Chain A
Amino acid sequence: MSGNLQVLLLDDEPIVGRRLKPALAKIGCEVDVFEDPELALAKMAQKEYDVVVTDIRMDQIDGMQVLEFVRERWPRSKVIMITGYAMMSLAREAMEKGAFDFIAKPFKPDDLRRVIAKAAHALGSDIDFEAVEVEKANG
């Protein structure tokens, strides 16, 4: 494992970032949390993340635009979309546009960890997802 997995998390709900940042840190991810898509895009223009997790529906710029931006700027990055359950067609569209996977709200922290572990595996840098499971079992 060459350093921590760089993750950008974009969701306009502040609580999502507050809870997921420590949750993902446990599986060895270094998470940058954004609520504002513009700021996130500005950041991504400079920095390549391994995994980008973005909500599809946001006010100014939606997840699709973020996906398109990332696919163009950093083709290697894996993009995971967060969708509402009512927007399966949008999720399918995202997959066609090259999203790595999608996850429907409401989800558990482990659901996202599992998808991120899959993405890390695809990137060739496996993360020790089991470690958290063991820790949880012991705790």
Chain B
Amino acid sequence: MVESPVQGNGQPIPEMAPQATEEAEVQGRLGLARDAEQARRALLNRPRFSVRLQIFLGNALAFLIAIAIAIALVASFHRMESKIRFLEIVNDYVMEVEQARRFEKNFFLYGTNLSDAQDNVFKAENILSRNAEELADIMGTGWREQMLPNLHRYQKLLEKLGQQPQGEQALSKQERLRVQSQVRAQGQQMVSAALGLLSKEKAALTEVLTRSRQLLFYSVGLLLLCMALNAYLLGSRMLSSIGRFGQYANRIASGDFTPLTPTRRYRDEFTELALAINSMIEELEKREAVLVQSHKMRAVGTLTAGVAHELNNPMNNITLTAHMLQEDYANLGDEERLEMIGDVVGEASRAKKIISNLLDFARESGSQLEPLDLPELLRETIALASNQIKLSGIKIDFQTSGNLPRVHGDSQQLRQVFLNLILNAIDASSKGGHIHVLVLPADEPNYLAVKVMDSGSGIPAHILPSIFDPFFTTKGKGKGTGLGLSVSQGIVAKHGGRIMVSSQEGQGATFTVVLPVTTIPAELGAKQ
């Protein structure tokens, strides 16, 4: 963009760039910058929740769960270990006690000595006291009261039995039988208590085993679930963002250069991408403005040939009149002289009018959106191309259905679009051809359509899809840049409309520009 006439080449041309246009341009550019700045602030003004943080949190959670599982497993192994140890101790104890009872039985049956049995009882007591800690672990501190009194009673009874002298001091048979049954009962009770304890602890061990297996299953399940959830959240976040940016890219490619605005409540790495895209959009917009302007100057160049030719007529009239006035001055009456001078003046202003249209169009101006009367805009555009049309010997007719709503747009840029279509139609038509220009409501509501139809040779079907591509041209080298339709499409897309083409070989082509009308509030429309 040329910054301003003063900065350009130091030669301000007041007529070519009046203050108002310049201000509009500055405002236009400021507006653009303001939009970009607003979008930037809105994008940044959100709490940050980065993808990196989400990955970190997800992994940390999985890690914590894994640690918890490991701790729980270690704890349950420890419990199982102590239970197994306890079972071993009780087992040893039971074996000793049973051994003691076997000796006790032998004593009663065969009269063998009791010291072996006492030995075993001593060993059993030893086992208990050696493993006091483990026993306390399982049975609590009360294990002594539970186990030892029985053992001690049994020991005492055995002692009592063993110390009994033989012969006359021997206990009465009855007394002997009583002690004997006491010993048996005591031994029995001791064994059964120990066995009961054993089976209870075995059951407890089985339960711990089952529980730790369940714990393992559930926690591994939980871990998997947590990882799957994490992967799902992370994946959907990334994929939706990538999808969104794909849409943005398509939107930008179609020429919509409005900056990206926040769509989520937080910002992250994609926000940085959005900011980068916004600055890219700004750059693209600047470049497109340059492209649009340079394309406009090309159109001006094309129009200049027609203007130069058209200027020949008033020039010729002025030349002839001036020469004849000079030649016959003496012989002419005042009236005739005045008539000839009047012709010169009239032709001079005709010449001025011929160039002023072109100068108006060529004048550089900023983007200014306003409600536009589309038929009027088309009439002006046709007037602009009229010299070209006359020169080519082509007829143009313009039709419009009355009372059309206005469209919101930039008159300069839209005129450039229509001029481009009309100049293309002129190029496509041969001498004596017809160009029809129509303005009418489009098929879809709240849109207007401008149709430019030529009676040329049409566009072959195989190139039809590529005619809007940049640098695509069917014109000879040096005649077309192939940017006309591409630039036009960009301008129309920026206005929220689109350009369509339909053509059949040999039957001309129809270009249709569809533009949205200035929106009426929905309630107003509904009430009517």
Contacts and interface: CB of A to CB of B under 8 A. Distances in A.
Nearest to B308: A86
Interface in A81-95: 84-87
Interface in B257-314: 305, 308-309, 312-313
Contacts of B328: 22
A109 B390 contact: no
A129 to B, nearest CB: 14
Contacts of A19: 317, 320-321, 323-324
Interface stretch (A31-39, A70-78, A100-108, A119-127): A100-108
Contact of A109 (B313, B317, B320, B343): B320
A134 interface: no
Given A20-B320, A86-B308, A139 B313 contact: no
A69 to B, nearest CB: 17
B327 interface: yes
Contacts of A87: 309
A1 interface: no
A139 B309 CA distance: 34
Contacts of A18: 343
Contacts of A20: 320
Nearest to B343: A15
A62 B431 CA distance: 11
A110 B328 CA distance: 13
B397 to A, nearest CB: 14
B324 A15 contact: no
Contacts of B347: 15
Contacts of B305: 86
A109 B312 contact: no
B319 interface: yes
A15 B476 CA distance: 39
A108 B319 contact: yes
A22 B309 contact: no
Given A23-B324, A84-B312, A87-B309, A57 B317 contact: no
Contacts of B390: 57, 59
A118 to B, nearest CB: 19
B330 interface: yes
B312 A139 contact: no
B319 A106 contact: yes
B354 to A, nearest CB: 13
A131 interface: no
Interface string B320-338: 1101100110110000000
B315 interface: yes
Contacts of A13: 313, 316-317
B391 interface: yes
Contacts of B5: none
A45 interface: no
A139 B317 contact: no
B433 interface: no
A86 B324 CA distance: 25
Contacts of A139: 327, 330-331
Given A15-B343, A15-B347, A86-B308, A105 B313 contact: yes
Nearest to B324: A19
Contacts of B313: 13, 105
Contacts of A15: 317, 320-321, 343, 347
Contact of A85 (B312, B317, B319, B393): B312
Contact of A57 (B320, B323, B391): B391
A105 B324 contact: no
Interface in A2-32: 13, 15-16, 18-20, 22-23
B343 A106 contact: no
A105 B317 CA distance: 9
A84 B316 CA distance: 10
Contacts of B320: 15-16, 19-20, 23, 106-109
Contact of A106 (B315, B324, B391, B393): B315
Interface in A42-60: 57, 59
Nearest to B431: A62
24 contacts: A15-B343, A16-B320, A19-B320, A22-B328, A23-B327, A57-B390, A57-B393, A59-B390, A84-B309, A84-B312, A87-B309, A105-B312, A105-B313, A105-B315, A106-B312, A106-B316, A106-B320, A107-B316, A107-B319, A108-B319, A109-B323, A109-B327, A139-B327, A139-B330
The 6 A-B pairs with the shortest beta carbon distances in the complex, nearest first, are: A106-B316, A105-B312, A15-B317, A19-B320, A105-B316, A106-B315
Given A105-B312, A107-B320, 6 more contacts: A13-B313, A19-B323, A86-B305, A105-B313, A108-B319, A139-B327
